[in-house]
Amino acid sequence: MLTMTVLLSSIPALISCNKDNKDTEEEFTYSTSRQTTLVTGFSLQADAEVLAYLDSVHFTIDYDNGVIYNADSLPKGTNITGLKCSIKFLNTVSSSMLTITGATTRSDTTIEYTAAMNTKLDFTGKTVLKVTSADQSQTKEYNIKVLVHKENPDTLIWPDSWRRELPGYQNNTVGHKAVQMGGSYFIMTYNGVECNVLAADSPNQGTWDKKTINLPFIPQVQSLTAVQDLLYVLSADGTLFFSSNGEEWESCGVMWHSVLGAFGDKLLGIMGDDEEGYYHDQYPRSEGFVVTEVEEGFPVAHASNMIETDNKWTSSQQAMIVGGIDRNGNMLSDVWGYDGTTWGRINNIHSKTMPAIADATLFSYYTYRSLPGVRHYAKQQTWYLMGGRFADGGLNSTIYVSNTQGITWTSGGEILSQPDGTPDFYGAQAIVSNETMTANIGAAPRRVASSIITWDCPYIYLFGGYDEQGKLLPWVWRGVYNRLTHTPVY
């Protein structure tokens, strides 16, 4: 939470108390220091009809620029035409006058602030507080700004202007997969004859380096997975291949039915078939590793991509997949988790929200939650599920989110929704990339101490995917949780 911040440590003491031996009265001599007109606290008084916990909204006091403002803006639509305020001063002042001009509901006026003042103020106009020191030798003006969001900060936005053409897209492309390997990004494309590998240093890079490669096999492009500094892909007959650069590929000497994803330095997959049965496998195998038959209801193909994540309830790294198709051909709505040794269902069967789904896009991102008793929002890790195919052939258009490590899920509703104008899809890849944001110092008042000028903002890049006819979609969508683009206030 942003506390009211003023710089006091560097300001010299300004009040000298001179006591006359013949007189018990104290004589105060004020210096020309800023302390004679220093505001140390500003707050709005409680008014539940306007906003819950209004009195807990924190205001920053920027003495140098003469600005008092709430860095964390009030929710969109908050009525600020009739609010009471409380002001604190470091020392006794002779007067503190509030001048309001250009307000929506109040005529231009000047009001003297006192601790007992009970007047409601309209902060839609310009509000200036003029403080005069006790000896009337110093004055200071503060511009008071009660900021209100112009848009809902808790929406997931996908501006059309951020959309880019899909790197490597051609009308005859039948396979397209984007992955991140370390600090680099790779795309594999295949059109039934030619295979290309594209590389970039950023998912938002305009032009990707492209190389046509001669593969000794037909790739299952959707199986492309990065594990630390290696790329893996299955051939059409199930042979697993690896590469360090996407250009030269070698056989791993194993055959799999499907790839699940990366876990640490291992690639997890499913080996076997309908006749022999299906088994968990990893490459390379850890010492002592033994393949085990998959659990009843476990997805042997078409699950979401697998993501690794830290789990607050366990001490080890976790992995998660959603949906897919089991060995009996049933489409699943379950969430399966892996702790390095064991797979298990982790979603709550008594509060299922997600439908049975295949080829959905899973990624770790963020939402915010309000803390009880205060106007303060805390960032929380959130798992998002987008796209995917239903058993009847239809496609999913809802974003599902989980703030409980995948145990329970809810619909994101209107504020957390997929990009407007894009068709429903399955098989897309979501990559989250941090990008440096710079505060607009001219547009927003700065903090007094420890100003945040730059910060990392995580953007979502949604690559491709396929429509109901199985045709590759030619776009990269760029999205972000709106609040993450605002200058951090804590």
Q: Residue with structure tokens 């001219």?
A: 442
Phi and psi of 121, rounded to 5°?
-110, 150
CB atoms within 10 A of CB 312: 8
Alpha carbon 310 to chain centroid, angstroms: 16
Strands of the 60-62 sheet, one edge to the other: 60-62, 67-69, 139-145, 126-133, 93-101, 109-112
CB atoms within 10 A of CB 26: 10
Domains and CATH numbers, the chain: 15-145 (2.60.40.2340), 156-485 (2.120.10)
CB atoms within 10 A of CB 341: 8
pLDDT attached to residue 351: 67
Report yes or no: 368 and 154 within 8 Å, Cβ to Cβ: yes
pLDDT in tens, the chain (490 residues): 333 444 333 333 333 333 333 344 444 444 556 789 999 999 999 999 998 889 988 899 998 899 999 888 888 889 999 999 999 999 999 999 999 999 999 899 999 999 999 999 999 999 999 999 999 999 999 999 999 988 888 999 999 999 999 999 999 999 999 999 989 999 999 999 999 999 999 999 999 999 999 999 999 999 999 999 999 999 999 999 999 999 999 999 999 999 999 999 999 999 999 999 999 999 999 999 999 999 999 999 999 999 998 655 556 789 999 999 999 999 999 999 999 999 999 987 666 788 999 999 999 999 998 777 666 778 899 999 999 999 999 999 999 999 988 999 999 998 999 888 889 999 999 999 999 988 764 444 444 444 567 889 999 999 999 999 999 999 999 999 998 988 776 5
Strands (E), 352-472: 361-370, 377-386, 400-402, 410-411, 429-438, 454-463
Name the DSSP class of 51.
B
pLDDT attached to residue 456: 92
DSSP strand pairing (277-283 vs 60-62): unpaired
Instruction: Give pTM, 2 decimals.
Output: 0.80
End-to-end CA distance of the chain: 6
Strands (E), 206-265: 209-213, 219-227, 230-235, 239-243, 250-255, 258-263
DSSP strand pairing (429-438 vs 400-402): unpaired
**C-alpha distance from residue 229 to each of 151, 244, 401 (Å):** 42, 6, 30
Task: Please give the structure tokens belonging to residue 190.
Answer: 């295949």
Task: Give the closest residue to 416 by CA, choosing from 370, 460, 455, 384.
Answer: 384
CB atoms within 10 A of CB 129: 20
d(CA 188, CA 197): 5
Q: Residue with structure tokens 């697993």?
A: 240
Task: Give the closest residue to 101 by CA, choosing from 49, 148, 61, 141.
Answer: 141
Q: Is the dihedral of CA 425, 429, 430, 434 positive or negative?
A: negative
Task: Please give the structure tokens belonging to residue 77.
Answer: 């639509």
Q: Please, which residues have CB within 8 angstroms of residue 317's CB and are 6 or more apart in sequence?
A: 263, 264, 308, 309, 310, 311, 339, 340
Report yes or no: 76 and 152 within 8 Å, Cβ to Cβ: yes
d(CA 249, CA 270): 21
d(CA 79, CA 123): 9
Phi and psi of 253, rounded to 5°?
80, 15
What does the chain come to in residues?
A: 490
Q: Report the largest interatomic distance among the alpha carbons of the chain, rounded to a whole angstrom.
A: 109
d(CA 66, CA 37): 11
pLDDT attached to residue 375: 67
d(CA 436, CA 145): 27
Report yes or no: 303 and 358 within 8 Å, Cβ to Cβ: yes
